[in-house]
């Protein structure tokens, strides 16, 4: 029972991290726009870039990882997520941040899909 609880806590923390990354951008738009010297609507495209990454990544990454154990897939997805969020934090231009946001969105849908299967097991 303890092992299952640890797995669920890990999944919950992953979900919290992904959810925070998705939604925190909305509150930061004025600051990001100012720092990158773009308009707020242009900075808003960063939200759309993440959403596009989710749409592209969910079916693609699940299909690519279907032959691997679910826990290893989850670990790989979180590694991708952390790497591209790190790149987002270091981005010095709008285009680099746009690319990092797109790529950090890739594992989002796949994480929740695979995570649901792991949680049920």
State pLDDT tens for residues 12-22.
Answer: 888 888 888 88
- Kindly calculate the radius of gyration of the chain based on its CA atoms and give it in whole angstroms: 15
State pLDDT tens for residues 29-83.
Answer: 999 999 999 999 999 999 999 999 999 999 999 899 889 998 899 999 999 999 9
| 3-class SS of residue 69 | coil
Judge contact between 33 and 42, C-beta under 8 A. yes
Judge contact between 103 and 84, C-beta under 8 A. yes
* Alpha carbon distance, N-terminus to C-terminus of the chain: 12
pLDDT at 92 over 50: yes
pTM equals: 0.86
pLDDT band at 1 (very low <50, low <70, confident <90, very high): very low
pLDDT at 2 over 80: no
| Predicted local confidence at residue 56, as pLDDT | 95
| Predicted local confidence at residue 3, as pLDDT | 58
């Amino acid at each position: 029972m303890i092992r299952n609880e640890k797995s669920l806590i890990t999944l919950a923390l992953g979900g919290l991290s992904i959810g925070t990354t998705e939604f925190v951008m909305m509150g930061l738009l004025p600051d990001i726009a100012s720092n990158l010297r773009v308009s707020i609507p242009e900075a808003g495209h960063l939200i759309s870039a993440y959403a596009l990454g989710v749409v592209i990544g969910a079916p693609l990454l699940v299909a690519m990882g279907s032959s691997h154990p679910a826990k290893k897939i989850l670990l790989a997805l979180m590694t991708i997520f952390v790497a591209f969020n790190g790149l987002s934090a270091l981005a010095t231009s709008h285009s680099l941040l746009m690319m990092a946001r797109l790529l950090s969105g890739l594992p989002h849908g796949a994480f929740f899909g695979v995570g649901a299967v792991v949680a049920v097991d």
